[in-house]
Every structure is written in structure tokens, then in C-alpha cells.
Amino acid sequence: MLALQRNQNLNLIMKKTVAVDMDGVLADVENHFLNLYNQNFGTKLTYEDIKGKPEREAFPDPGVVMKFASTPGFFRTVPVMKDAVEGLKKLCDIFDVYVVSSAMEFPQFLEEKYDWLAEHFPFIHWKKIVLCGDKKIVNTDFMIDDHCKNLDFFKGTPILFSAFHNIDVDKYVRVDNWKDVVSLLKIYA
């Protein structure tokens, strides 16, 4: 009986864990790509033009996504996703939050990514940041991500954050924005 009580108390004390992706969830990379593309090529591409296409094939000029993403300053200047700061703050009140970003493909920009987080999300302690390659060994209760390749191997509850490249995916619980994230996760805290 005492052991049961202790476990129940521990459950009350221990917050559930959430892994939150950066690019496409905290960082509005699709708007960043669109803006950079239109600035560089004098076009007027819109969200409708790239909707439903994989990230690396969405733009008329093949390889441009890789080119932008490997340009110094790209990750440092990406705009913050709408409502992400307030949303993540609320999540931190009720969950043990880790920011988990697949960042090793461009190791020269690891510090840029850290600096971007430190500027826009200063309430995220360095202990809670994970910059990795694939996310297969990440073990949290929830994962919020815009890429199926990360959610497919996840053992907890996967949550798909809407992006132009994933609109046809229907195998995960979907959130369209940060207000949705907070509303959904409040239920599970």
C-alpha cells in the first residue's frame, strides 16, 4: 500500500516528456524557403505552389532547398513559427520538454541552431537540447515533428505538425499550429 502510494506520488511529481522538433515546428522553414526563393529568383511562389511536395522537390529549381540550407546564416535567420514561443512556454509548465533537432547533416551550423534557440527560446535550458542525426534512439512520451521518418520509429505517442510536404499523410494525430499543440497536449499532461 505504501509502495503504491509512493509510485502514485512519483507519477504526480514526474512530468511526462515531450520531444519538440525545431525545423518546421519551432522554426518556420517553409516560409523561410519561400521568401528566399522568391527573393533569389524574382518569383511569386506561394504556399499553394509547394503544397504536398517533398521538401527537396518543392521548388522549380532542383537542389535549391539543399543550397539554402547549407548557406551560412540560414538557420540563424529563420523566422519563429507563429505562436511557438508562447506555446512552448505553456508546454514547459506541464511537461518535461526537450528540443530535438536533426542537425548533424550540416555540422557547420550546429552553433547557429543553438544560438537561434537561445535567442528565441531562452527558457529552454542547455540540458534540454538534443542535436542529432536520426531520432531513432529518442525516447519520450510524446514527439511533435513534421517528418514521418522521425515519427515512424518513435515508441511514444507521435504527433504530426502540419507542413507543405506532409499534407497527404493520414497515419498520425495531426496538429496545424501551436494553439492546436497546446490544446491537444493539455489533455495528456
Whichever of 104 and 189 has its CB closer to a second copy, that residue is 104
Known catalytic residue at 23: yes
Query: Could you tell me the smallest distance in angstroms from the CB atom of residue 40 to a second copy?
Result: 27
**What are the CA-CA distances from residue 3 to residues 8, 12, 15 (Å)?**
9, 14, 19
Beta-strand pair 129-132/173-175: unpaired
Out of 23, 28, 145, 146, the active site residue is: 23
Please state the closest distance from residue 185 (CB atom) to a second copy, in A: 17
C-alpha cell at 31: 516560409
Instruction: Tell me whether residue 145 is one of the annotated catalytic residues.
Output: no
- Identify which of residues 45 and 130 has a Cβ nearer to a second copy in the complex: 130
Cβ-based nearer residue to a second copy, 39 or 108: 108
* Class of residue 17 by CB neighbours under 10 A (exposed 0-12, middle 13-18, buried 19+): middle
Provide the binding-site residues for a second copy, judged by CB under 8 A. Answer: 17, 19, 98, 100, 104-105, 107-108, 110-111, 114-115, 118, 125-134, 136-140, 155
The set of residues, in sequence order, having a beta carbon less than 8 Å from that of 41 and lying 6+ positions away, is 60, 61
Minimum Å distance from CB 46 to a second copy?
A: 33
CA 27 to chain centre: 7
Which positions are annotated as active-site residues? 21, 23
